[in-house]
């Protein structure tokens, strides 16, 4: 799940300043779960925009705005409004914003901040779990991501800031992930696995916008 939070009203207002005729697009997938871009939030946004003197031509929740094909399909239903719009305010992650821009050829604005790839424990409690390093090491680290869960992103911890099994960098009682890795190995009698040295990450994997084509 891509976790988003709403930008402040002031920031959205400032971004919309030069534009009057607006279309609002929400997201039926992640941003609906995050309650940042679902039906209710889109409705609230429309009211807010009208309060700011904007002319809202149309609003809709696109099933998954990150998919350009779905954007094209869904936006067809409000084709005229999109054509007349000065800007589309997109209530989705940054991927959705850019895909809507591509599908519509229009000026797009982001209503949300995209903060991480996370797990949903329950609505209102989202936990970061992956930073898309491109060479997943979960198979070596007992299914725990050291890049996110270790404050230093160490591939071979723990470090000098571990205090009683907790991470002294993050504080807030966060566990040191390397102690967790150790505990999992130990509980299965695989203590020797902890001696394995994980190699440095290949940073070239993350240069420029990545592409997967097949």
Tokens of 166: 């907790």
Binding residue for ligand SF4 (CB under 6 A) from 45, 85, 178, 182? 178
Is there binding between residue 138 and ligand SF4 (CB under 6 A)? yes
How far apart are CB 155 and other proteins at their closest, in Å?
6
Q: Name which of 86 and 193 has its Cβ closer to ligand SF4.
A: 193
Asked whether the beta carbons of 77 and 58 are under 8 A apart, the reply is no
CB atoms within 10 A of CB 105: 9
Which of residues 75, 167, 181, 182 is near ligand SF4 by CB under 6 A?
167
- Residue 158 within binding range of ligand SF4, rule CB under 6 A: yes
What is the x/- site pattern for other proteins, positions 133-162, by CB under 8 A?
Answer: ------------------xxxxxxxxxxxx
Whether the CB-CB separation of 154 and 178 falls below 8 Å is answered with yes
Specify the pairing of strand 21-27 against strand 55-62. parallel
Say if residue 151 is preceded by a cis peptide, omega within 30 of 0.
no
Closer to other proteins at the Cβ: 57 or 162? 162
């Amino acid at each position: 799940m891509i976790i988003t939070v709403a930008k402040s009203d002031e920031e959205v207002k400032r971004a919309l300043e030069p534009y009057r005729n607006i279309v609002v697009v929400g997201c039926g997938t992640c941003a609906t779960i995050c309650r940042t871009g679902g039906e209710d939030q889109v409705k609230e946004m429309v009211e807010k925009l009208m309060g700011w003197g904007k002319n809202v031509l149309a609003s809709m929740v696109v099933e998954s705005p990150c998919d350009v094909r779905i954007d094209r399909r869904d936006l067809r239903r409000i084709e005229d409004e999109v054509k007349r719009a000065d800007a589309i305010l997109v209530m989705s992650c940054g991927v959705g914003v850019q895909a809507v821009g591509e599908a519509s050829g229009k000026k797009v604005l982001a209503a949300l901040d995209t903060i991480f790839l996370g797990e949903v424990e329950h609505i209102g409690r989202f936990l970061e779990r992956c930073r898309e390093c491109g060479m997943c090491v979960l198979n070596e680290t007992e299914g725990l991501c050291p890049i996110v869960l270790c404050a230093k992103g160490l591939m071979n911890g723990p470090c000098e800031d571990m205090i009683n099994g907790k991470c002294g960098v993050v504080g807030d009682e966060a566990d040191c992930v390397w102690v967790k890795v150790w505990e999992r190995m130990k509980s299965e009698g695989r203590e020797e696995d902890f001696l394995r040295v994980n190699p440095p990450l290949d940073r070239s994997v993350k240069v420029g916008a990545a592409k997967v084509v097949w």
